[in-house]
Chains A and B, each alone.
Chain A
Amino acid sequence: MSSFRQPSILPGFGLTLGFTTFFLGAVVLIPLAALVMKTATMGWDDFIKVLFAPRALASYRLTFGASLLAALVNSVFGFIIAWTLVRYEFPGRKFIDALIDMPFALPTAVSGIALTAVFAPNGWFGQFLAPLGIKVAYTWIGVTVALTLIGLPFVVRSVQPALLEVQRDLEDAAETLGAGRFYIFRRIILPTVLPALATGFTMAFARAVGEYGSVIFIAGNLPMKTEITPLLIVIKLEQYDYAGAAALGFIMLVMSFVMLLSINLLQAWGRRRLVAAAR
């Protein structure tokens, strides 16, 4: 026991750890194990057949492509918004800052129908985009727009604290030594915020890959064209194809593990950077 934990006079370790692991096991781990076991009971050939079915492949392409694009858009605009909120004082700044968390708090079904209403061909923005030949709703662009909305707070909230860490006197010193704006950005600001930006990007990407509610309304859900992988799982379940749903779910679960691991590694990288900078 003594090697398992460091001694402490505070009580309740056994009780709280026991309750925590029991609850975690019952609600999260055993159900996830059921998914893995269900996948294990299907033969290897069946597993491969589900995984590489043309309809599944098309859904991966859309899910990962749109998620990647959305995370990239968020990296650019999330950085700009974080910069605006940290560096500039303007009326309504606090209000905007509070609103950034909206996609966290807003139910995904609501953002789904609202974005569809805005971007549909007769919607507020859709009616101006339609004559230009740009169809947003019911295409991959709509999927990307929905995934951009739900990923935005991850990038902004990662980058904001990192921008506060940038040493302003370093920027001033560089400027007095004749450095241009872009040079200062590239050599001082970017290196400081890069780990945070990468973390935010990965979080936004991970969240987007699994997203369901806000996408299915705007996607149109045409097989092979605008069908995301989570929707394919739901369709398989509705057809009582439990094994097929489990196989796709298993692959998405593995992806989640990989991304969670990358996020942890990126955060550790960011902390090391900060410690190194403080020395």
Chain B
Amino acid sequence: MAAGPSKAILAELASRPGRDTRASSLMKAFFIGTSLLFLAALLFAPLAIVFTTAVSKGLMPYFTSFKDSDTIAAIRLTLTVAALVVPLNTIFGISAAWCIAKFEFKGKSFLITLIDLPIAVSPVISGLVYVLLFGIQGWFGIWLQDHDISIIYALPGIVLATMFVTFPYVARELIPLMQQLGNDEEEAAITLGAGGLMTFFHVTLPKIRWGLVYGVILCNARAMGEFGAVTVVSGNIRGVTTTMPLHVEILYNEYNFVGAFAVASLLTLLAVITLIIKSLVEWRTGYQRH
């Protein structure tokens, strides 16, 4: 029985004042309690009120609010914008990640900063720049009017402004991931005679697919939910240029709270689904961002 400390030593260790277990558990309670209270007030309560207000007059008014033709038009417009913006920004993101992660060249960090720029810029400015280019008094305003092309207060303007805002999301997910994975396997494939596209689809894509999935769904969530930039270029023509977030604003300002929160509840569900996919991707890959 020589191995292991004796009972007396264990008892002595446990009674030593070094780690005050009572103070430790008090600290733990304080930290968890403060965190939960703060999140409850700022995050849980607003999330809950979206759904309780949406069904405050019962389930029937909630569901009939989706039969409104303007609401249907808003949902359709939002889906159209996302269907145009997300694929374009995905192609851009893959292209940017390939040249930045796979090659060393001068001015690379400057290029990364420029790609990140839309995240730092106010969404209102993202819309403003397109009004200055294509609006009636903008650089191309007269020319566009003469040729009967409308960009501002129409779909193209909404798509451009949304593209600006969601521009960096796919690239930002892929660049660190591809840098971390290195070039060895791609170089081996090229040496063995594979072409560039074949190397990308059979070597690179399988490795980055979960990061790509997350970048795409985050880009999608931001595209569908964009408010500030779209407000500036949309002109708020009801049922024509109002996306779902703008339609929420219109209904809210008309004191149609059930309708406003009903549309808001759809957008909240979109956010919840986005976060679920994010958790799945992280669980699937065991990779943590940043």
Q: Does B106 contact A8, Cβ atoms closer than 8 Å?
A: no
Chain B residues within an 8 Å CB radius of A28: 114, 117-118, 164, 167
Tell me if B125 is interfacial: C-beta within 8 Å of chain A: yes
Q: Does B290 contact A157, Cβ atoms closer than 8 Å?
A: yes
Which A residues are closer than 8 A to B by beta carbons?
3-6, 8-13, 15-17, 19-21, 23-24, 27-32, 34-35, 38, 77, 80-81, 83-85, 87-88, 90, 94, 96, 98-99, 101-111, 113-115, 117-118, 123-125, 145, 148-149, 152, 157-158, 161, 175-176, 181, 206, 209-213, 217, 230-231, 233-234, 237, 240, 242, 245-246, 249, 252-253, 256-257, 259-260, 263-264
Q: Does B245 contact A110, Cβ atoms closer than 8 Å?
A: yes
Known contacts A16-B96, A101-B278, A242 near B227 by CB under 8 Å: no
Tell me if B143 is interfacial: C-beta within 8 Å of chain A: no
Q: How far is the CA of A4 from the CA of B105 in the complex (A)?
A: 6
Known contacts A5-B103, A29-B114, A145-B42, A88 near B31 by CB under 8 Å: yes
A-B contact count (CB 8 A): 290
Q: How far is the CA of A118 from the CA of B42 in the complex (A)?
A: 9
Known contacts A9-B191, A81-B35, A234-B124, A148 near B42 by CB under 8 Å: yes
Choose one: B34, B47, B132, B232; the contact of A35 (CB below 8 Å): B132
Choose one: A3, A83, A99, A256; the contact of B122 (CB below 8 Å): A256
24 pairs, CB–CB < 8 Å, chain A vs chain B: A5-B105, A8-B103, A10-B196, A12-B99, A16-B95, A21-B111, A24-B96, A34-B132, A35-B129, A77-B34, A88-B28, A106-B268, A107-B226, A107-B271, A109-B245, A110-B264, A176-B18, A210-B125, A230-B122, A234-B231, A249-B129, A256-B121, A260-B116, A260-B120
Tell me if B149 is interfacial: C-beta within 8 Å of chain A: no
Choose one: B39, B104, B186; the contact of A6 (CB below 8 Å): B104
Give the nearest-CB partner of A263 in chain B.
B120
Q: How far is the CA of A149 from the CA of B39 in the complex (A)?
A: 9
List which B214-238 residues lie within 8 A (CB) of chain A. Answer: 218, 221, 224-228, 231-232
Chain B residues within an 8 Å CB radius of A10: 102-103, 183, 186-187, 190, 196, 199
Chain B residues within an 8 Å CB radius of A17: 99, 103, 105
Give the nearest-CB partner of B194 in chain A.
A11
Interface size on B, residues (CB 8 A): 101
Chain B residues within an 8 Å CB radius of A124: 45, 49
Chain A residues within an 8 Å CB radius of B225: 105-110
Shortest C-beta distance, A255 to chain B (Å), equals: 9
